[in-house]
A and B are shown apart, each in its own frame.
Chain A
Amino acid sequence: MSKLVIEGVSRTFAGVRGGQRVQALQPVDLAVAANDFITILGPSGCGKSTLLRIVAGLEAPSTGRVLLDGKAVTRPGPDRGMVFQSYTLFPWLTVAENIGFGLRERRVPERERNEIVASYVDLVGLKGFENHWPKQLSGGMQQRTAIARALANDPAILLLDEPFGALDNQTRGLMQELLLGIWERRKKTVLFVTHDIEEAIFMASRVIVMSARPGRIKSDVPVDLPHPRHYTLKTSPEFSRLKAQLTEDIRIEAMRTAQTQSA
């Protein structure tokens, strides 16, 4: 049985000041198997973030529905952990308190909470920074904390919305390996939105390519590269072949976006 099922989900925004209604997302169908790492790849403005926000329950679909473990999604909840592109750590809480936020909200006893927090601090390599304020951390460390915060709730699925988009290239590469390493060891169902082709292939067991706005699923590409993956994989022939294929797919869509914008 599929872990996550997206059935005919579309999203239309009301027109601004009586203008035309804008369709951001055409009806999308997608079934995600448990412990799959899915990356959703598309040009900017294709509605991929909207789709992720609908799965998170932060936005309601105009049509269709989302089922997680057979239950319909109606509002955000701790079973769907989310990492945002912008830095969303609570600035008034320390790193440890941020990671423990969801646990505290769910009234997990303090001792158990501290143990879980410590284990996730360890997992994302932030030992020694537990009592730092978010402002004192680099962008990469903030996103590591955000990943730990989402995972500490032990969600059924982890949603990531271009989590490394604001980071420099080197840091981004390290973060990809870190997240993939965690996934390889702990197995989790992951939905990861990105516009970076290399990132999409490197992380994924399956890449979903979306078309230009209004978005729909254009292709569904399995990535059968072996695990554990090392960054050197990015220069292998199989990787290059996939990259060439997806680059072509995305290029057409990006051009289509450029045309609709200039029209």
Chain B
Amino acid sequence: MLRPLHPVPPGTRTVLGIAFFALFVAFWAWITLGGHVNRIFLADPLSMLKDGWRLLVEDRFWLDILITIWRVFGGFVLASIVAVPIGIAMGAWKPVEAFLEPFVSFARYLPASAFIPLLILWAGIGELEKLLVIFVGSVFQIILIIAVKVGSTRRDLVEAAYTLGATDNGIVKRVIMPANAPEIAETLRLVLGWAWTYVIVAELIGSSSGIGYMIINSQSRLATGQIIFGIIVIGLIGLLSDFAFKALNRWLYPWSLA
């Protein structure tokens, strides 16, 4: 009955996808409400929702959510503005690649979280530091992925453009950039997901606002319901921004899907 690579009908796909969520929550409810784990370490789904509601209504948690969103997008936009042109330049012009690639490859492995103490020394514990953590975490990744994508631009398209009279600059502007635009957008979507990880790490250390701050704050009060609520909020926002990004790409680049 299960044939390899055989597609599943869309209706069944939705049902199966929701079924796992239901199973997961059911299991969670069973071990917590059934008394199989200590309530101190893991809140049950109902008290998680109650805690979450209280957070939003009484503790103005939505302000923390907005601050975290702003940090993610701020740092991510900064990183994109710097990284996209450098990545394109590295992919298009081989001397630029030879010059920067070794360093960027090295810098990519520097963990953004390890920079936090240093960034706090340099920029304090304000917004700039949070943006910089995300910037450091994203910028080298974006550069490298885009450089590789641009470097593998279809050669036959480049040759065709040359035989049509394109100049070297014309090749970059009218072939390399449009040909890779959907891939670049896709790369940014991917890295935005990673930026969510960096922002929470940045907020766990030396912070007084944001989702990450609420989570670390809840730890000391053993408020596991709040912690789980915070994590779920991050997941939901990530999912939403991912959908928005995908929709934007589909709208911008209809030709790549036609």
Chain B residues with Cβ below 8 Å from A149 are 164
What residue of chain A has the Cβ atom nearest to residue B178's Cβ?
A92
Q: Is the CB of B164 within 8 A of A78?
A: yes
Q: How many A-B residue pairs have CB under 8 A?
A: 76
Rounded to whole angstroms, the CA-CA distance of A102 and B166 in the bound complex is 7
A64 interface hit (Cβ, 8 Å): no
Interface residue? A84 (CB, 8 A):
yes
Q: Are B156's CB and A91's CB within 8 A?
A: no
A57 to B164, CA, bound (A): 12
Given contact pairs A92-B178, A102-B165, A105-B174, A133 touches B254 in the complex (Cβ within 8 A): yes
Question: Is A102 touching B164 in the complex (CB atoms < 8 A)?
Answer: yes
Q: List residues of A (135-187) whose CB comes within 8 Å of B's CBs.
A: 135-136, 146, 149-150, 153, 159
Binary CB contact string for chain B from 159 to 171 against chain A (1 if under 8 A, 0 otherwise): 1111111110010
Asked if B99 is an interface residue, CB under 8 A from chain A, the answer is no
Q: Interface extent on B, as a size class?
A: 20 to 34
B258 touches A135 (CB 8 A): yes
In the complex the two chains form, is B162's CB within 8 Å of A76's CB?
Answer: yes
B160 touching A92, Cβ below 8 Å: no
User: Are A90 and B157 within 8 A (Cβ)?
Assistant: yes
With both chains docked as a complex, state the minimum distance between the C-beta of B182 and any C-beta of chain A, in angstroms: 8
Q: Is B256 an interface residue (CB 8 A)?
A: yes
Question: Which B residues touch A12, using CB under 8 A?
Answer: none
Show 23 A/B contacts (Cβ-Cβ < 8 Å), sorted by A.
Answer: A58-B159, A77-B163, A77-B165, A78-B163, A80-B163, A81-B164, A82-B159, A84-B156, A86-B156, A88-B157, A88-B160, A90-B161, A91-B179, A92-B178, A101-B164, A101-B166, A105-B164, A105-B165, A105-B167, A106-B165, A135-B255, A150-B163, A150-B164
Task: Choose one: B157, B162, B165, B175; the contact of A58 (CB below 8 Å).
Answer: B162
Q: Which residue of B lies closest to A56 (CB)?
A: B163
Chain A residue numbers with a CB within 8 Å of B179 are 90-92
Q: Closest 8 interchain pairs by CB?
A: A78-B165, A102-B164, A76-B162, A82-B163, A88-B160, A133-B258, A135-B258, A92-B178
Choose among B163, B181, B256 the residue with the greatest number of A CB atoms under 10 Å from its CB: B163
Q: How far is the CA of A220 from the CA of B251 in the complex (A)?
A: 54
- In the assembled complex, the Cα of A146 lies from the Cα of B166 at a distance in Å of 16
Chain A interface residue bracket vs B: 20 to 34
B-side contacts of A153, CB under 8 Å: 164-165
Residues of B near A84 (CB, < 8 A) are: 156, 159-160
Chain B 59-80 interface mask (CB, 8 Å, partner A; 1/0): 0000000000000000000000
A101 contacts which of B156, B161, B167, B254 (Cβ < 8 Å)? B161
Among A76-116, those with CB < 8 Å from B are: 76-78, 80-82, 84, 86, 88, 90-93, 101-102, 105-106
For residue B163, which residues in chain A have a CB less than 8 angstroms away from its CB? 56-58, 76-78, 80-82, 150, 159
* New A-B contacts (6) at CB < 8 Å, excluding given A81-B164, A105-B166: A57-B162, A75-B162, A82-B159, A90-B157, A133-B258, A134-B255
Residues of A within 8 Å of B243, CB to CB, are none
- The residue in chain A whose Cβ has the minimal distance to the Cβ of B256 is A91
Interface centre among B161, B167, B181 (most CB of A within 10 A): B161
> Are B258 and A92 closer than 8 Å at their CB atoms?
no
Residues of A within 8 A of B157 (CB): 88, 90
Alpha-carbon gap, A146 to B157, bound state (A): 12
Cα separation A84 to B162 with both chains bound (whole Å): 13
On chain A, the residues within 8 Å of B253 by CB distance are 92
* Smallest CB gap from B181: residue in A: A92
Cα–Cα distance between A79 and B167 once the two chains are bound (Å): 14
Q: Interface code A54-71, partner B: CB below 8 Å = 1, 0 otherwise?
A: 001110000000000000
In the complex, how many angstroms separate the beta carbon of B255 from the nearest chain A beta carbon? 5
Choose among A57, A92, A146 the residue that contacts B255 (Cβ–Cβ < 8 A): A92
* Closest-CB distance, A246 to chain B (whole angstroms): 29
User: Interface readout for B172-205 with A: 1 if CB under 8 Å, 0 if not?
Assistant: 0011001101000000000000000000000000
